[in-house]
Amino acid sequence: MLSSPVEIAIVFGVGLLLFGPKKLPELGKALGQGIGNFKKSLTDAQSEITTQVKEADREIEEKAKAKAEANQLSSSVSASTSNSEDKPSSG
């Protein structure tokens, strides 16, 4: 990128020669607006991605919780079934 003041002055001078003193401020304004719009779009995209990732994480947690509850219910049902099979019926 442009690191020294001499490089910046050279770029500004070339721009001045190419576009003239009347057109240069308009180009600078348009460039600034373009950069601002780009940054806004980038921020919007980042927030959308963050939202989607959070929703996916929440869904994964809900599925894991439901699976754990199903496993717990299954193990309690099988434990009660095995207990009733172990006991001889009185009859």
The string of pLDDT tens digits covering residues 32-80 is 999 999 999 999 999 999 999 999 999 999 999 999 998 888 887 777 7
Q: Give the span between the Cα atoms of 69 and 87, in whole angstroms.
A: 27
Q: In the predicted model, is pLDDT for residue 84 greater than 80?
A: no
What whole-number distance in Å separates Cα of residue 73 and Cα of residue 60? 20
Tell the burial category of 15 from Cβ atoms under 10 Å away from its Cβ (0-12, 13-18, 19+).
Answer: middle
| Per-residue model confidence (pLDDT) at position 39 | 97
